[in-house]
Structure 1
Amino acid sequence: ALMKCGEVAHAESLFYSSMQKVLPMYGAMMKGYVDNNLPEKAIGLFSKIENPDDVNIILLFNACAQLKTKEALDLVKTTSKQIPKSFYLNPHLLTSLLDALVKCGDVAHAESLFYSSKHKVFTKYGAIMKGYVDNNLPEKAIGLFNKVENFDDVNVTILFNACAQLKTKEALDLVKKTSKQIPKSFYANPRLFTSLLDALMKCGDVVHAESLFYSSKEKVLPMYGAIMKGINRLNIYDKVELVVSQLFISF
């Protein structure tokens, strides 16, 4: 609770004053550090744990993913070789490992682990797809999406991000096709809707993007941003003014 409320110093004081520290206490502190963008402290605390459990390892990988440095990558690789094989049965751990590897720049290693995994879940696909997008490999992200049998809203969001990077007619066609096939409930996710608008604008279909935007009953700031960036990129300044006026009316 203290960490979630930003009271890092108070939480640290209580933690270090405790005579008997158990793994969940370390986990709570590490998660607090990660949530408060203090990955170095999370890693430092992890190094003091004699026998970490899978949750501690997951949090370590999350901290390394925040750092995105060579040192963090080396730590991820070293740790992944030392942990018990049973830990890999935890899908959350493997997803965090994949995420850390791709964010630290080792896409090849992440791919190797992903394809060697017998049990692939949505989050694993999402971690690899996001890694492809972050490393400017949109074609690979799209190719992997095509292998997902029952995708979730996160997978679709990342697909739209990949298409937005390509900015091609083929990417636009895929965006439109996918947007028609996904469950209506997915549109309740503002991140997905924003990614869809962004992809449509970047692929050149301003009319479709505008239609979706103005038909949306619940607009959030990123949606306005996606539309404004798109029409500004196309030098349609009068439309920028219209969206801005809508923004101030809404708020």
Structure 2
Amino acid sequence: MLRIFSHRNFGLLYANIQTRISLIRSYYDLISEMKKFNDKKQFQNALKLFYECEKSNHGMISGAAVSQALKSCTNMKDFQSGLILHQRYSSLIEKNKYSLSSLIHFYMQLGDVNHAQILFDKLKNKTVGIYGAMMKGYIKNNMAQKAIDIFFQITNPDEKNISLLFNACARLATEETLNLVKQVLSNLPDRYQNDEYILTTAFDVFIKCKDLPNAERIFSKLPQNTISYGNLMSAFNKNNQPQKIFELYEQMKINQIQLNPSVCVLLINACSTLGIYSISKSISEQIPESYLNNIFINNALIDMWV
């Protein structure tokens, strides 16, 4: 009897272990599948999968799964469903830093800054991700100065925090924020010296603050593409420096970077400012034929030749 009892107990124990292994595997599968849907911007599918699992096997619902569901709600602007999720899974969310970050982001997107602030203030151990969610939310809600203020509460900011700081500084575009960006850049840890996101947002600050020498310096470290060239050209255009625009265009040709309609307009505007016929004729002949029906290019060409 003892042997039979032992075998039965072992069988039950084995079955229980197998069930728990299956549950854990499904738990991760749910998160993985929801993330795949969200990454593909199939937010409705991610939320539907969450609700189906909620009904069929509630044990699969974790803080990370709720975080993915909140992300779906936020991107769909389905704020009612997000509020219900918070109410239903508040205890799970409070135990998971990623869920809290998603919830703060949700309320910031909703425009409920006060609720996001309450959640943030309750936290004793704030991660860089939580700080990042608050900074991003402040910027979203036109409270750039608050994003700057909260940055200085972070003990060891990561590259995302620094990029968000620069983003906030670009929104304000004052002498004070320009100097702040210069100071932070000069004290960056070695591992962030060539970080693309940090350099891109710093470049944006220099452009917005019309600090073109520093913008050029940062530009040389950035990935060269039509957008980055266009941004710097636009700054030179506003600063009435047509020759700089032509120099950048020559670099584009050397680097085999294609024109787009916006850059074409900037080149034509530079020709208008310079007023030299030979240059205007040469540039107009280099505009791709497929762009000649673009209304902005046509208007710029008319202004140039008038």
Compute the TM-score of the two structures, normalised by the length of structure 2.
0.68
Select which of 244, 250, 253 maps to 1:245.
250
What is aligned with 1:76?
A: 82
What is aligned with 2:223?
A: 219
Q: Which amino acid is the alignment partner of residue 39 of structure 1? A: F
How far apart are the structure 1 equivalents of 2:73 and 2:237?
A: 36
In structure 2, relative to structure 1, the CA distance for the partners of 1:28 and 1:171 (3 Å cut) is same
How far apart are the structure 2 equivalents of 1:119 and 1:225?
A: 43
What is aligned with 1:8?
A: none
* Corresponding position: 1:138 with 2:147: no
Output the aligned Cα RMSD: 2.1
8 A Cα contact 1:193 1:223, kept in partner? no
What is aligned with 1:92?
A: 98
How far apart are the structure 1 equivalents of 2:137 and 2:230?
A: 24
8 A Cα contact 1:88 1:94, kept in partner? yes
How far apart are the structure 2 equivalents of 1:125 and 1:238?
A: 43
* Corresponding position: 1:181 with 2:187: yes
In structure 2, relative to structure 1, the CA distance for the partners of 1:143 and 1:30 (3 Å cut) is same
In structure 2, relative to structure 1, the CA distance for the partners of 1:23 and 1:232 (3 Å cut) is farther
Count of residue correspondences: 226
Shift of residue 175 of structure 1? 0.9
Select which of 107, 117, 123 maps to 2:113.
107
Q: 2:53 aligns to what SS in structure 1?
A: coil
Q: Which amino acid is the alignment partner of residue 94 of structure 1? A: L
What is aligned with 1:171?
A: 177
8 A Cα contact 2:175 2:209, kept in partner? yes
How far apart are the structure 1 equivalents of 2:240 and 2:73?
A: 40
* Corresponding position: 1:29 with 2:38: no
Q: Which amino acid is the alignment partner of residue 202 of structure 1? A: K
Q: 1:47 aligns to what SS in structure 2?
A: helix
In structure 2, relative to structure 1, the CA distance for the partners of 1:30 and 1:211 (3 Å cut) is same
What is aligned with 2:74?
A: 65
How far apart are the structure 1 equivalents of 2:230 and 2:83?
A: 38
* Corresponding position: 1:193 with 2:202: no
Percent sequence identity is: 30
Where in structure 2 are there 5+ consecutive unaligned residues? 1-24, 257-306
Shift of residue 163 of structure 1? 0.7
Shift of residue 129 of structure 1? 0.4
Q: Which amino acid is the alignment partner of residue 209 of structure 1? A: A
How far apart are the structure 1 equivalents of 2:196 and 2:99?
A: 27
In structure 2, relative to structure 1, the CA distance for the partners of 1:235 and 1:41 (3 Å cut) is farther
Shift of residue 235 of structure 1? 4.2
How far apart are the structure 2 equivalents of 1:107 and 1:234?
A: 38
In structure 2, relative to structure 1, the CA distance for the partners of 1:150 and 1:94 (3 Å cut) is same
Q: 2:124 aligns to what SS in structure 1?
A: coil
How far apart are the structure 1 equivalents of 2:90 and 2:40?
A: 29
How far apart are the structure 1 equivalents of 2:190 and 2:102?
A: 29
Where in structure 1 are there 5+ consecutive unaligned residues? 1-20
In structure 2, relative to structure 1, the CA distance for the partners of 1:106 and 1:229 (3 Å cut) is farther
Shift of residue 205 of structure 1? 0.9
How far apart are the structure 1 equivalents of 2:201 and 2:230?
A: 11
Compute the TM-score of the two structures, normalised by the length of structure 1.
0.82
8 A Cα contact 1:167 1:203, kept in partner? yes
How far apart are the structure 1 equivalents of 2:165 and 2:230?
A: 19
8 A Cα contact 2:74 2:82, kept in partner? no
Q: Which amino acid is the alignment partner of residue 199 of structure 1? A: V
In structure 2, relative to structure 1, the CA distance for the partners of 1:209 and 1:91 (3 Å cut) is same
Larger radius of gyration: 2
8 A Cα contact 2:135 2:147, kept in partner? yes
